[in-house]
Structure 1
Amino acid sequence: MPFIGNIFQALSKTREKVADAFDNIVKRKVTPDSLEQLEEVLLSSDMGFETVSTILNVVEKHHDEGFISKVEDHLVSILPMKEDNYLPSNNPIIVMVVGVNGTGKTTTAAKLASYYKKLGNNILMVAADTYRAAAIDQLKIWANRIDVDLVHNEKSKQPSSILFDGLTAAKSKNIDVVIVDTAGRLHTHKNLMDELEKMYRMAESKFAEFKLSALITLDASLGLNSLVQAREFLKIIQIDGAIMTKMDGSAKGGIIFPLYQDLGLAVRFIGLGEDLDDLITFDALEYTQGLLGTK
């Protein structure tokens, strides 16, 4: 299914409120009451105060013309342009999937492996979550389905050691993309955060021939609370982008704007379900159109 079909459906809960609020302005014209109602709706979708304020300014400025298209143009301009999502070029890449418990990291890691393989890359997965035995079993099933190699060690409790073994294997096999599933961790667990930093620094220093990146999985249903999580991870390692999971069940689809405006963190992928194909690359225009219902 094309991206716009997926994202349009996924944003239905957010769009229902947002579109109604804009329709109300079209019918009643711009009044203090209609603007206040629009502000409340936009804030409830977790677009963030800065984004909402600029939207209201656009509506007021262009209320005598087609202001919806002006709002669309404005929102698209806020977000970064679509990128190539770390496609290998001269160097192989490492993608570390990080985040708190319950955000769908393991499933997302498998989806990423499938995504990159379909682009013609040689893939290796590394099971570096040493705290949840089910994660390794889960990755074994996914790796078998995708038909990619998986490095794991149920006897080891040292994720840095497992990652080292995985990257060493990747070098010898001329792997294009290494997908690393890490343990879920809260920022309040200092030991686990220190452990994540150790893994990142080891990969960075000992495997410089790889392009290292980290993507954080964020639960879209948590809205602005996701910013708190991301901000803490950014204190430990460099995060190169976010993957919004569970977008299909959230009424807080506006979170992508403050995530980028407040933290400079761009969304690279959106997760819409449990199947391998339920991971789509992020596109600012199509996302905005899905949010506003303009396509």
Structure 2
Amino acid sequence: MNLPPEPKPSDHTADRALLGAADIRRLAAELDVRPTKTLGQNFVIDGNTIRRIVAAAKIDPAETVLEVGPGLGSLTLGLLDAARHVVAIEIDPKLAARLPETIGEFRPEKAGAFTVVTADALKVTELPRQPTALVANLPYNVAVPVVLHLLEHFPTLEHGLVMVQDEVADRLAAPPGSKTYGVPSVKAAWYAGLRKAGVIGMNVFWPAPKISSGLVEFIRREPPQTTASRQEVFAVIDAAFAQRRKTVRAALAGWAGSGAEAERILLAAGVDPSARGEVLDVGAFSRIAQAKTGLLA
């Protein structure tokens, strides 16, 4: 699985200057920035990779794109070429303060089309503009919580493309029954349909990570029809995967109060009590949560 081919010269992003390795190192030196594992900082230093990511994101020119962790602005410039407006959330105040200057240097005509919010993306619940797309090179250590948080708090996000650690990409996009299917897969599926859209090698980053990155595309969809709340459904998911090798009857015994009660709920939900959580889709977990509330009513 590979990224789309590099855009042809006629493409509107192909002839625009993007940050290369020399630019990234110059900016980092100017700011005395040393990429840290704590913030999951790996800066993209290859313009062609940026172009391919932007092409894969399928951005409409009228869209407002949300970027998380823009760092020194590698992806930001490519997004500004494709979207009407880019809102970036950057946790590092030093990097956030430098971004408008970088845009002024490389895309002066786009200065008014960019907004930076200095904050932790896991705590942001309001933005100056409502984004319709999320495109981001996410810090590896918080990628899944960030995706779930943003999908929960920004229902205007209709689609997106996120770059995460390759194994995390596999988990997010995993279908029921696969080895990598788990809590991230099911919770993300509550909000959207997801698929793995490509793999990116290590040598396009500075510093180079020790594992490849994966691209995950998502398209927003309505959650399963259920009278249970999202929190109730997510509680079932957490309980079912807390003990992966057990049947759902055994895994949900604590959540339900007893094994017998778990079996009663599962049968009411139309779920085989001897099945394991990794074969159930988000709809099945929603029925289980609804069945519990219905039996207690």
What TM-score does the superposition give when structure 2 sets the normalisation length?
0.30
Question: Greater relative contact order: 1 or 2 (C-alpha under 8 angstroms, separation 6 or more)?
Answer: 1
* Structure holding more helix per residue: 1
